[in-house]
Amino acid sequence: MAEITASAVKNLREKTGAGMMECKAALTEAHGDEEKAITILREKGKAKAGKVSSRIAAEGLVESYIHMGGRIGVMVEINCETDFVARGEDFKNFTKDVALQICAMDAQFVTADEIPAEALEKERNIARAQVLADPKTANKPENVRENIVESRLNKFKSEVCLMDQPFVKDQSITIADLLKQVIAKTGENVKIRRFVRFKLGEGLEKKQDDFAKEVAAMTKS
């Protein structure tokens, strides 16, 4: 059996974020093979999300989802570090779940950082107006009213930001939690980079035929 050195355990721990004893056990099981040890830790869900967040994720998949007879469609790009992980079932299932989430919950941004400042200010002003118009809150102290406004603004962020939304298949976790799970399973940095959501006819004004005007125009000619 290959000797498991302290240096090997340290290197594996730095790469995966798993505990010392977990790393040593994985290396022992893998007979000193680091790559096999990483796979073992991934399978056991011992790789920690926080230890890999700074690594570059340039591989991944573009996933699509079409719903309601072609009336709603989503495309999302999700990145990981290696093509090996991109082809794995855990990563593929995650991309499908995220595309479904965007379609079902009408996410507009990946994170709150992407919301334009003017959009946030608009929502804040709407919340203030609502608080002042409500007899239950209008006469409360200003600091209390502002706390209510910020609470409503946070609710708005959780509704439009993908990472803050409850997962449609399991309302007890958010998409951010689901992302952490797939990072732990794969041992790689995984990022939801961008997405687009299309709804048939969205933003278009449908032509309204005014037959009365057409008839009137014909009689004048």
Lowest mean pLDDT segment, chosen from 55-64, 134-143, 177-186, 211-220 = 211-220
How far apart (Å, rounded) are the C-alpha atoms in residues 200 and 73? 8
Question: Which one is predicted more confidently, 218 or 92?
Answer: 92
- H or E segment to which residue 195 belongs: strand 191-199
Position 215 pLDDT exceeds 90: no
Mean pLDDT of the region 153-159: 91
DSSP label at 201? Answer: T
Tell me which residue has tokens 């855990």. Answer: 90
Residue 213 banded pLDDT, cuts 50, 70, 90:
low
Per-residue pLDDT, averaged over 196-219, amounts to 67
Segment 190-200 shows an average pLDDT of: 94
In the predicted structure, residue 160 carries a pLDDT above the cut 80? yes
How crowded is residue 50: how many other Cβ atoms within 10 Å of its Cβ?
Answer: 10
Q: Where are the beta strands (DSSP E) in 28-182?
A: 59-67, 72-80, 166-167, 170-174
- At residue 188, the pLDDT reads 87
* Mean pLDDT (whole number) for 150-175: 93
pLDDT at 52 over 70: no
Q: Measure the CA angle with vertex 151, ends 197 and 195; round to 5°.
A: 15
Q: Which of 197, 177, 213 is nearest to 99 (CA)?
A: 197
pLDDT tens per residue, range 115-139: 999 999 999 999 999 999 999 999 9
**128 DSSP assignment:** H
* pLDDT-above-70 percentage for the chain: 86
pLDDT band at 210 (very low <50, low <70, confident <90, very high): low
Is the pLDDT assigned to residue 99 strictly greater than 80? Answer: yes
Residue 212 has pLDDT above 70, yes or no: no
* Better-predicted residue by pLDDT, 70 or 20: 70
The predicted model gives 35-42 an average pLDDT of 85
Domains of the chain (ranges; CATH) run 6-47 (1.10.8.10), 59-199 (3.30.479.20)
Residue 97 has a pLDDT of 97
Contacts of 168 (CB under 8 A, 6+ apart): 100, 101, 104, 105
Tokens 């999300």 locate to 49
pLDDT reading at 100 higher than 90 = yes
Q: Token pair 């919301």 is at which residue?
A: 115
Confidence band of 50 (pLDDT split at 50, 70, 90): low
